[in-house]
Amino acid sequence: MKVNLIYFAWVRERIGKTEEEMELPKSVVTVGDLLSHLKGLGEEYETALQFPDVIRVAINQEHVEHDEAIAGAREIGIFPPMTGG
Amino acid sequence: MSVPSPTIRVQAHDFDLQAEVDALSGGRMDIGAIVSFVGLCRSEQGGLSALELEHYPGMAETEMKRIADLAIERFSLMGATAIHRYGRIEPGQNIVLVIAAAPHRQAAFDGANFIMDYLKTSAPFWKKEHAADGTAGEWIEAKGIDDKAKDKWG
């Protein structure tokens, strides 16, 4: 499946991209699978996602846990814990 | 009575506290309490020249509305406003405004408090510090104390 990945804050800076479209292999089923897959794409992804536990993910602009399936996702946001307010 | 719809805005420019309070309460005779909270940028003892606020456009508004709707339902608020700024914000300038209106003070205090606690941990905003010496500093780290503040609401 093809998804649009959007990165924010230090995840964006470390990966060096604001967003990208990506074709995902069938083996990527959950959010956790996606983060593992991205980590293997190069040093910048490895640096950005080296501590996946702290990474927050939103599918179609709604927060999801790492065990959530990504089926049906058009847009997946990947970012650090939020620090607004 | 229908459930009120909150006023939600994400904007680069400043907000006017009194104008927003007036917009919420104007012409109404049934509101007995309004609590407003304004979050400002601190100078951190002169070490900070500005904060850079990044947000997830679309999701930020959606998440703020979801949080305000929860507060309206939970505390039977008569109205709520949440405005969050983005971009470069200097010490002394406003970052965020939350207003809660209710018949009595406790619901208004609780409603504003609830919205802020959830907004800090769930609304997609990130702060980066710019140091007074001109260097781009670090992204601010999320604080465990903010998660605890949210968790108290169950």
Domains and CATH numbers, chain B: 7-151 (3.90.1170.40)
As a whole number, mean pLDDT of residues B33-59 equals: 95
- Using one digit for the tens of pLDDT, what is the confidence trace for B88-113? 999 999 999 999 999 999 999 999 99
Q: Please answer yes or no on whether A58 and B62 come within 8 Å at the CB atom.
A: no
Q: DSSP state, A53? A: G
Q: Which of A5, A51, A61, A75 is the best residue to mutate to test the B interface, defined by the most B CB atoms within 10 Å of its own CB?
A: A61
Q: Please answer yes or no on whether A77 and B56 come within 8 Å at the CB atom.
A: yes
Distance (Å, rounded) from C-alpha B109 to C-alpha B75?
10
Q: How far is it between the farthest Cα atoms of chain B?
A: 55
The ipTM assigned to this model is: 0.95
List A5's β-bridge partners, or say none: A20, A76
Rounded mean pLDDT of chain B?
A: 95
Q: Which of A58, A80, A85 lies nearest to residue B120, judging by beta carbons?
A: A85
pLDDT of residue A6 exceeding 90: yes
Domains and CATH numbers, chain A: 2-79 (3.10.20.30)
**A8 interaction partners in chain B (CB closer than 8 Å):** 54, 56, 124, 126
- Using one digit for the tens of pLDDT, what is the confidence trace for B117-139? 999 999 999 999 998 887 778 99
Distance (Å, rounded) from C-alpha B77 to C-alpha A35?
40
pLDDT of residue B50 exceeding 80: yes
Q: Where are the beta strands (DSSP E) in chain A?
A: 2-7, 19-23, 56-59, 62-64, 75-79
Nearest-by-CA chain B residue for A81: B142
